[in-house]
Amino acid sequence: MREDRQRLDKWLWFARFAKTRTLAAKLVTSGFVRLNGQRTDNAAKAVAIGDVVTVALARTTLVVRIEGLGERRGPATEARQLYADLNRDNAALVSDRDNG
């Protein structure tokens, strides 16, 4: 795989969306992950910086943009630097003025 790419399951594990790499792969193969709006069931799918990943979890759906490719599964502070949370940026899609 090219240096500017990384496996999706590996990135999910490095970014701490799953406790193990096996669980990250199961999350993808079960259909709970979208890459750039397209549903994928291939855990080996290559991701790059700038890709948007949507993860449907039990109680929430996370939308993040990949900001970095990890080299290891480090502490949570290091993992948060791998992505930008897009849920916060678009939290208010409808303003009060739109209601009439």
The domain spanning residue 65 has which CATH number?
3.10.290.10
The whole-number pLDDT of residue 87 equals 84
Is 38 a domain residue?
yes
Residue 72 maps to a domain: yes
pTM score of the predicted model? 0.84
Per the domain annotation, does 13 fall within a domain?
yes
Supply 27's token pair: 């999350």
Residue 35 covered by a domain? yes
The residue range of the domain holding 80 is 6-86
* Token pair listed for 84: 């930008």
Number of domains in the chain: 1
Q: How confident is the model at residue 94, as a pLDDT?
A: 45
Measured distance CA(75)–CA(50) in Å, rounded: 22
Task: Give the model's pLDDT for residue 89.
Answer: 54
96 domain residue, yes or no: no
The model's pLDDT over 46-99, given as tens digits with 9 standing for 90+, comes to 999 999 999 998 889 999 999 999 999 999 999 999 999 998 655 444 444 444
